[in-house]
Structure 1
Amino acid sequence: MQSLIFFIIALSLLVVIHEFGHYWVARKCGVKVLRFSVGFGQKLWSKQLKNGTEFVIAALPLGGYVKMLDEREAPVAEAELDQAFNRQPLRNRVAIVSAGPIANLLFAVFAYWVIMVIGVPGLKPIIDDVTADSPAAMAQLMPGEEIIAVNGKATPTVNSLFQQWLKFAQSGETVTLTTRSTDIETTKQLTLPKLGLDDAGSLFSKIGIKTVQPDMPPILGEIVADSPAERAGLQTGDELISANGKQLSSWQAWVALIQSSADEEMSIEILRDGQVQQLDITPAADENNVGRIGAAVNTEGYEIPAELRSELRYGPLAAIPQAFSQTWQFSVTTLSGLWGMLVGTVSSDNLGGPIAIAQFAGDSAQQGFIAFISFLAMISISLGILNLLPVPVLDGGHLLMYFFEWVRGKPLPESVQIQGQKIGLFLILLLMVFAFTNDIARLIG
């Protein structure tokens, strides 16, 4: 239920922002907006604004819409013809249609600006281990070194380092690292392995490093439904003691064991309500043959040691270009992912539908304000990018029609536009069905 609530909040907010972009530019262009509706269906509340727009809150809170004066939809009085959308010059129509996706992208910039001004806590990127004969070993990276910058850009946290490496790994570039060890700074050249978006999760292992992680007690937090952990009988609050007779005292030690034990049955001991119990569990292999059991560590009451804590933060002015850069980077990644799915280089299993988005919304909200607003920024970018695709029905499809109108000097025949709308609607429905199927497949495991 919580995930559903946050999904409705997220979707409604982002679609209203999108529609407000259309509304604001339409009003600036002199187009009369008949209705601005938050939600669909039965009216719950409405108010007539001074500019003639009816503002509505409707019963189904899944987005909204803007209805403009348009002769193609209903007769227009002679005195209001100059306010009709269809009577506007091409540049005005392009601006009005473009405004929705642009509003989503600008909201993402604002969201990232807020995040960077508040600051994102994280772990310092201190190297714990280097794999032999790996790119990291070739770059002479050493355990104990902290990677403080990539190509001169500060990387105060593990996540900021990951983001920088991911950006350059997509083309397999060589980057300049600034490292620090015992207050001595050194520069090193690292040639990143060329990775696709599907390989992002294994970026650090492909480079050949592990970063220092705090020793957390092996107490279970969230258990994923129908996971190996749930099927084995593990519960939230269980403390893991030993596996196959060997005692493991930290969460990290358990993670390493489970990841290396895909499809291997283990006999484990746990402490529950003061009683030691024995269970059997078999970690499931993921697409990289890494073992997973579907359980998270309980972080409640745990505090990361001060020597490992860091924060990515910028001043209000310095955060502006960083916010634009983050928005641009995620937009490029989104487009690369879509193109990869189209040509088959990225798995279409990555496509998520409403169930996946609802789960992400709920999870991010539980993690706090920063995680939730970051989720909003990413979904807002995705919404903006998707709406710019040249598919009839979407904003990008209308812009494509306007391009042909500009080339021809007159609009495309109405019959062509209608057929385009039908094709576009079919493609959107097909995409929705495919995404929903992926959601169901994830749920049933």
Structure 2
Amino acid sequence: MIFQIVIGLIGLGLLVSIHEFGHYIAAKATGIGVEVFSIGWGKTLWRRNLKDGSEFRLSLLPIGGYLRMKGEYQFRDAIQKGLPTFPDEEGGFFSAHPLKRILVASAGPLINLLFAVLIFTLIHLFGFSYSTFSNIIVPVEQILPGQTSPAIQAGLKPGDRIISINDGSTPYYSDIQEIVATNPQEELRLTVERASGSVEEIRITPTLDPDRGIGLIGVQPYIEPVIADVEGPALGAGLRTGDTITSVNGTAIRNTAQLQEILSSHQGAFEIVFLRDSAEMTATIYPEYTEDGQPYLGVVFQAVTARKPGLPLFSAISTAIAEVWRTLSLTIESLGMLFRGLIRPENALSGPLRITSMVGEIATSSMSQGLGTGLRITFQFLAFISIALAFGNLLPIPVLDGGQILMYLFEWVRRKPLSPKQISLFQTIGAVIVIGLLGFAVFSDLLFITRG
């Protein structure tokens, strides 16, 4: 757990440091002086004076970084002395033209987006393999309490193969998941191949999950109960990789959804019948139980390994840009759903505790699939967080970059600088808003973590 937290802090700190580095580059390019650029907070562990007059620091706490530009003390003095304007200072931030300050404020979010483009480009350039399941599905009765799932309402049946959605090919279950999740409350056209071989077109509208803000239709992958790995109770009962479960407690099993249904409705030992090299065998498994009371047998079933081939450089870049744009669009849509009350705020807003926990958990768990896969999954997740960080900072809230851009744009349009007192009031209002949002997010994080 401690290792996960450390990894999470390093990952989140990397993104914040990249963000601040964007401000640093823009400040130097526009002639604004930078006094300190620090990676990390707290006690300075190492420092070096750069040729441009800036001081570079490595600090104790790996929770991001900060930039101190020339003129920040000037701002403080102007407030304390009640000056109507900022004293003119060469290289000072508040002495610079509003357009230069807009550029500096924009550079942090921009470099976060460029970081995401870089990561996605590298991923698509080299290609990657991933684990998924076939596009054969099993519908479930309910996905939200008291609501029959759209899959059942639409007439989907166990063994149906969803071969396309809105004319887009869906060769794997992960393709189905992605399209459904990103189109809540939007009608979809499914081309379905029945077990009999006939092909039908079915229209279905995903339900919005208010906890996660994604679309759901209520299907699971049709996974044959062929064991890929065993541990714990199943290993102790004598099951092996390659065994095929055929019945549990006297009920025939054709897929893992049927197995899960039996597991959720029974307490105690499970009588397992399975095939090993065509010979029928039996075993009794005494399960362990999870924190929420669900039985755990210790079996992992076979998945499908899919391969995304590498793309030429320019195709990889264009694909990466499209992925960043799509993620931004989905973020804007989610924000709209949040304001319309369709998504629960306590689940929609993730604070630093939850983000750190997720980064650490994803990094450590993905490494079990191999170093290459682990690095890809970790940096892919960091790229999504980087996009969210850019979007969040561009919100027109005082103190955030978006609020600063709005303020300096107002100065430029009116051709008259705001007074130190006006800027201080603007930033104070922003600080109250941000602290309130942060407090709510941390409270939600604590609820999320304590609920497990």
Whether these two folds match at TM > 0.5 is yes
Q: Which of the residues 184, 209, 232 maps onto 1:170?
A: 184
Write the deviation string for residues 377-407 of structure 1: whole angstroms up to 9, x where unpaired. Answer: 1211111111111111111111121232234
Q: Which amino acid aligns with 2:262?
A: L
Offset at residue 125 of structure 1 (A): 4.0
Matched, 1:425 2:431: yes
Instruction: State the partner residue of 2:337.
Output: 340
**Distance (Å, rounded) in 2 between the aligned partners of 1:372 and 1:22:** 25
Q: CA deviation at 1:150?
A: 4.2
Q: How has the CA–CA distance of structure 1 residues 436 and 104 changed in structure 2, closer, same or farther, with 3 Å as cutoff?
A: same
Question: In the alignment, which of 341, 348, 351 is matched to residue 353 of structure 1?
Answer: 351
Q: Which residue of 2 aligns with 1:98?
A: 106
**Kindly tell me: are residues 409 and 197 of structure 1, through their superposed partners in 2, closer, same or farther at Cα, counting changes over 3 Å?**
farther
Going from structure 1 to structure 2, the CA distance change for 1:186 and 1:73 (only over 3 Å counts) comes to farther
**Matched residue, 1:115:** 123
| C-alpha displacement of 1:11 | 1.3
Map of 1:408 onto structure 2? 414
Q: Does the 8 A contact of 1:125 with 1:148 survive in 2?
A: no
22 and 5 in structure 1: CA distance in 2 versus 1, 3 angstrom threshold: same
Correspondence 1:212 to 2:222: yes
Q: Normalising to structure 2: TM-score of the pair? A: 0.75
SS at match of 1:391: coil
Distance 1:65 1:146 in 2: 52
TM-score, scaled to structure 1: 0.76
Aligned-pair RMSD on alpha carbons? 4.1
SS in 1 for 2:350: coil
CA contact (8 A) 2:181 2:215 kept: no
Equivalents in 2 of 1:253, 1:142: separation in Å?
Answer: 13
Distance 1:398 1:369 in 2: 35
Partner of 1:229: none
1:72 equivalent to 2:85? Answer no
Whole-angstrom CA distance in 2 between matches of 1:296 and 1:66 = 52
> Residues 180 and 282 of structure 1: is their aligned pair in 2 closer, same or farther, counting only changes over 3 Å?
closer
1:311 and 2:307 correspond:
yes
Query: 1:171 and 1:246 mapped to 2: Cα distance?
Result: 40
Structure 2 portions without partners, runs of 5+: 79-87, 142-147, 240-244, 273-282, 367-373
Greater Cα offset, 323-332 or 117-126? 117-126
CA deviation after TM superposition for structure 1 residue 443, in Å: 3.0
Structure 2 residue identity aligned to 1:257: I
Go from structure 1 to structure 2 and tell me whether the alpha carbon gap of 1:30 and 1:281 turns closer, same or farther (over 3 Å shift).
closer
Q: Which residue of 2 aligns with 1:443?
A: 449
- For residues 208-245 of structure 1, give each alpha carbon's deviation from its aligned partner in whole angstroms, at most 9, with x where no partner exists: x4433253549787xxxxxxxxxxxx989777999995
The match for 2:38 is 37
Contact 1:266 1:281 (C-alpha < 8 Å) held by counterparts = no
Q: Take 2:295 and 2:91, find their aligned partners in 1: how far apart are those partners?
A: 57
The alpha-carbon deviation at position 137 of structure 1 amounts to 8.2
Contact 1:244 1:268 in 2 (8 A): no
Structure 2 residue identity aligned to 1:39: G
| Residue 262 (structure 2) pairs with residue 257 (structure 1) | yes
Aligned partner of residue 40 in structure 1, secondary structure: strand
Q: What secondary structure is seen at the aligned counterpart in 2 of 1:418?
A: helix
Identity of aligned residues (%): 29
* Correspondence for 1:193: 206
Q: Equivalents in 1 of 2:33, 2:415: separation in Å?
A: 25
Q: Which residue pairs with 1:393 in the alignment? A: 399
Number of aligned residue pairs = 404
From 376, 391, 410, give the equivalent of 2:382.
376
Q: Distance in 1 between matches of 2:156 and 2:307?
A: 23
State the alpha-carbon separation in 1 of the partners of residues 432 and 354 from structure 2: 22
* CA separation of 1:109 and 1:126: change in aligned 2, threshold 3 A: same
Amino acid at match of 2:97: P
Give the secondary-structure state (helix, strand or coil) at the position aligned to 1:67: strand
Is the alpha carbon distance of 1:212 and 1:332 closer, same or farther for their aligned partners in structure 2, counting shifts above 3 Å? same
**How has the CA–CA distance of structure 1 residues 38 and 294 changed in structure 2, closer, same or farther, with 3 Å as cutoff?**
farther
Long gaps (5+) in structure 1 = 222-233, 285-291
Quick check: 432-441 or 80-89, which moved more?
80-89
CA contact (8 A) 2:268 2:287 kept: yes
Q: CA deviation at 1:191?
A: 4.3
